[in-house]
Structure 1
Amino acid sequence: MLIVLSSLWRACEGLEMAMLSSSLLLLSLIDLVRILIALWSNFLISLWIVEILAIPGLLCLFHLHKTLRILQRIFLWECNLLNNLPFRDGSSFRLFTHQ
């Protein structure tokens, strides 16, 4: 009888260890899922922040590009005026010509 009880005790200990290891495995899987959800959430939040910061930055670059194009047109217009402006001696001022 003692041998049977001892065997049952050992079987219960083995079952308890198996349940403990499976519950630890289950807990580690739950923790892994939580970690993956947290990483995905952080990725989405960081992507959202990047989009919030990138849109004004892109708009700023677009406006900067437009402003530079306007300044370039004004500069070229002034150069064209200077190129067509004759001096008193009959010569003309040539700036940025391909001649």
Structure 2
Amino acid sequence: MIYTASSTIHGTGVFAKKTIDEGDYIGTYHGPVVKRNGTYVLWVFESDDEESAVGRSGRNLLRFLNHSSSGNAEFDGFDLYAKRSIGIGDEITFDYQSDE
């Protein structure tokens, strides 16, 4: 469903191999749990409780997701879903600062 390639946003990005419809599951951010921030670390926590934060150091293709304030995908925990339809060859992005 996804692949990596050179990105016009930054370095390497994640792109759609096929059309992804709004609400479709794209993948899960896999990797070991970490306690410190670093490259490819995704933090998940309740918006009102940063003390509950859990970080994973990405080990799959999703570690190459780039930022866009109007991203076309969003995480629910460590699972990534399309916020809107994503066309073949479109870069998949999410808002790093999103608190939705």
TM-score by length of 2: 0.13
**For the pair shown, which has the larger CA radius of gyration, 1 or 2?**
1
Give the helix-richer structure, 1 or 2: 1
Give the strand-richer structure, 1 or 2: 2
TM-score by length of 1: 0.14
